[in-house]
Amino acid sequence: MLWQAMASMRDLGRLHEIASILIRYGFGDLVRRLGLATPLEKAGRALHWRDAEALAHLPPASRARRILEELGPTFIKLGQVLATRVDLFDQEWIDEFSKLLDRAPAVPYTEIRHQLIEDLGAPPEEIFAEFDPVPMAAASIGQVHRARLADGTRVVVKVRRPGIRPTIEADLRWLAKLAELAESEHSELASFHPAEVVRQLAQSLRRELDYTNECRNAERIATRFADYADQDDSSTGDPGEPPIIVIPRVHWQWVAERVCVQEFIDGTPGRDLAAVDKAGLDRRLLARRGARAVLKMIVEDGFFHADPHPGNIFYLPGNRIAFIDFGMMGRLTEERRDQLIRLLVGLVRDDPSLVAEVLMDWTGGGPVDEAGLILEIQAFVDQYHGVPLKQLNLGAMLSDLVNLLRQHRLSLPVDLALLIKAFISLEGMGHELDPDFDMVGEAMPMVEKAMRRRYTPKAVLRRTWKTAGEALTLLAGLPNDLSRLLRAARRGRLEIHIDVTHLRRVGNQLDRAANRITIGIVVAALIIGSSIVMTVPGGPKLFGLPFFGLLGFLIASIGGIWLLISIWRTRKEE
């Protein structure tokens, strides 16, 4: 099946490399079960099944992480996407996926200079007063060079690796086919929703490949923080005051799909806590300001940095914070934010039915033991009901919630998976800066404010008007819909489409059986026809026998052998 699904022969080289790495790390059985070996064997490419390394001492999660690192940029990004799916994987796997660092050897400047000239419109030496050909950092998709503009402004130039897109697109093509195969053929893998994960990966990667997306995200976040003033401290948000939250400025005249120029952030890296102390910065204030900034993005704006780990944060003098790398962003619609508020209301009011209703909305209402789910939600609500806010561990609460969903084979939408991952990362970073950091205490004032806004007369009237408008639109279109339905029924053209995943497998089996029957009939016809030809005098001879009769028997023998081998292989697979 995978052989038929391959888009073209050009992907076989990459498939061979992937299968070899999986075998070397002890996942040869997975290669066989997913059918990766079949297309390679048919193409004459040998797989070395006995070359597996002695890695049995490593846990499966560690081996999976090492495989992703070795497979390159697409799979490193896949691991980073999987690290956000706390609803699908245990914490052991999430921790391993979170260790994936997007690092790679730098591309020599001589190899990227021509691409830079094409994208910038002139050689870098003519555009920038200074340009460092040695990159300050390199990742799997691109690398970063320091530069200085003519007015003295320090900037960074991000350059995409030459030729990276074809490799990534080839990986995505067969990953999509493999995910479809895994979901339809292996029920134990279907609960991980591989097709959805691959769609999320493809969307994320294609956005990251185009640097204009990252720059638009950065500019949108910068606009939201233009007049931002932090609560409970001395900041006022006045234009003359240095901004608390710094977003690198984008120089749009030098932004294209493969290159972008942004302001250089000269600060203390978020990972270097010793340097934070040496710079005399207030760790407690930094934790509060960082948390409030991300919570503002989530609760008020609905557009947030989905990966707020210390590597994407710099601390500046005056206890200011700079965010970088806006390639992975989360989005929450107003409806989704309303659902979050309803969930919190259900937790506060000890209403497990309301909590279950929200969770079912999130997970798509698939087949689930709703009574059992409500009982477990009741236990979950009782566990945290009445706990003082300062004693509430938000990260542990969210982990318990996703574990509950995982037990019932329910998965979260991508936006909520990113949200929970962002919350957990944010709380962990806050505790690194300040052991007494109170995530719930920082979040609740914003949540309560959002709840009050939800129930203001204006907000209620707006929702009522929206609902009434939708109902009127539905009623207005109902006569036309009924008329079309009745016309189709009268003409005998009423169709009902039922999509059952396993029927596709049955259809493939029927096709295979029909092919075998056809080959069998052709073989029988050849045998009968050749027998008749053998009795006809005249014509060319071979070994004293009619040539065409012998040729017919030979073709029939080949067809019969192929038929027997095909039946034997099918029984072996079953």
* Cβ proximity of 3 and 149 under 8 Å: no
C-alpha separations of 292 from 154, 326, 333, 451 in Å: 29, 18, 20, 17
Packing angle between helix 73-82 and helix 194-209, nearest 10 degrees?
120
Q: Is 307 a catalytic residue?
A: yes
User: If DSSP codes are grouped into helix, strand and coil, which group holds residue 466?
Assistant: helix
Cα 237 from Cα 252, distance rounded (Å):
26
Cα 344 from Cα 140, distance rounded (Å):
40
Cα 85 from Cα 82, distance rounded (Å):
5
Pair of tokens at residue 142 = 């691109």
DSSP H helices, 210-282, are 211-224, 273-278
Cα-to-chain-centroid distance, residue 3:
25
Catalytic residue from among 307, 325, 369, 511: 307
Cα 508 from Cα 195, distance rounded (Å):
20
Torsion of CA 189, 193, 194, 196, to 10 degrees: 170
Hunting for tokens 């949540």 — which residue is that?
Answer: 447
Task: 54-58: list long-range contacts, CB under 8 Å, 24+ apart.
Answer: 55/25, 55/26, 56/26
Backbone phi and psi for residue 269, each to the nearest 5 degrees, phi listed first = -60, 145
The conformation of residue 250, written as its DSSP 8-state character, comes to B
CA 8, 14, 17, 19 torsion: positive or negative?
Answer: negative
Catalytic residues: 307
